[in-house]
A and B are shown apart, each in its own frame.
Chain A
């Protein structure tokens, strides 16, 4: 099952790469650097998805004390941190030619950095506590609290005046050209599959670790 998902993911990523670097047109105002959006936007989507899964799985763990929910939260947080890191790095690379700076402390960039550090802390907390059950309980609480930062990140560009542009996909009025939306959707699907592949594999490993330890 994992191998099959991996094969489909590789195909989807290849399609997304070809679409993003080849099929998508050169954007009129930003030029080719806009192609980074086909990587940056799906990455942050996967990060939101991953942390939402941590939130739900953490509630499930605290309610039922099911180890499977704890493993899902752990795996999803780890993958979410990877994709948040990619979001920050690719956004910074895009910002240099577009804004003229690698980094600025505007609301979106600051809030997403806090999100990244919070989930890094989540993973560190899990690693620091030797008692597995206690570590899982503390991590579940942090997984619930940290998720409240996700709407703050998303709406920061609306609530405050920022250098970062507001959401482009869901804004009212004339939208983006169909070809750009299609390429973005292909990459959304590819990155979502990659998220599923990583999480399934990580959960499998966490289960085997637990079996080996018991």
Chain B
């Protein structure tokens, strides 16, 4: 009987790809849900606030009051 290690590795490799793919899908879905439920102020970084305050310039970026526009790839069908 030949060793057939290639078949063994193919089976284990395929199972690993499927299981890792499913796990990765769950993690990405979890990250998407966290991003959607995060408050708008969470998008502000301390560095960006300091820079505008130090320079005293008027920011051209959209204010964070109201509803921030989500990135196109993160929109659900309702958005």
Cross-chain pair count, CB within 8 angstroms: 70
**Residue contact A93 to B10, C-beta cutoff 8 Å:** yes
Nearest CB of chain A from residue B26's CB, rounded to whole Å: 5
Closest residue to A92 on the B side, CB-wise?
Answer: B11
- CA gap between A201 and B8 in the complex, in Å: 30
**Residue contact A198 to B7, C-beta cutoff 8 Å:** no
Q: Is the interface of B mostly helix, strand, loop or mixed?
A: helix
Among listed B15-23, B43-51, B53-61, interface-contacting one: B15-23
Q: Do A90 and B11 form a contact, CB below 8 Å, given A32-B5, A198-B22, A205-B26?
A: yes
Residues of A within 8 A of B26 (CB): 198, 201-202, 205
- CA gap between A85 and B21 in the complex, in Å: 13
**Residue contact B36 to A31, C-beta cutoff 8 Å:** no
A5 within 8 A of B: no
Contact of A86 among B2, B18, B33, B37 (CB under 8 A): B18
Q: Which chain A residues (67-92) contact chain B, with CB distance < 8 Å?
A: 79, 82, 85-86, 89-90
**Residue contact A208 to B33, C-beta cutoff 8 Å:** yes
Residues of B in contact (CB 8 Å), total 22
Q: Do A86 and B7 form a contact, CB below 8 Å, given A93-B14, A205-B30?
A: no
Residues of B within 8 A of A35 (CB): 8
Residues of B within 8 A of A93 (CB): 7, 10-11, 14
Nearest CB of chain B from residue A129's CB, rounded to whole Å: 15
**Residue contact B14 to A212, C-beta cutoff 8 Å:** no
Closest residue to B21 on the A side, CB-wise?
Answer: A82
- CA gap between A45 and B33 in the complex, in Å: 32
Residues of B within 8 A of A201 (CB): 26, 30
Nearest CB of chain A from residue B13's CB, rounded to whole Å: 10
Knowing that A17-B12, A33-B7, A36-B7 touch, tell me 11 more A-B residue pairs with CB under 8 angstroms: A21-B12, A39-B15, A89-B11, A89-B18, A90-B11, A94-B7, A94-B11, A97-B2, A205-B30, A208-B30, A212-B37
Would you mind naming 7 contact pairs between A and B with Cβ atoms under 8 Å apart?
A40-B11, A79-B22, A93-B14, A94-B11, A97-B7, A201-B26, A205-B29
Give A residues with C-beta under 8 Å from B.
17, 21, 29-33, 35-36, 39-40, 43, 79, 82, 85-86, 89-90, 93-94, 96-97, 194, 198, 201-202, 205, 208-209, 212
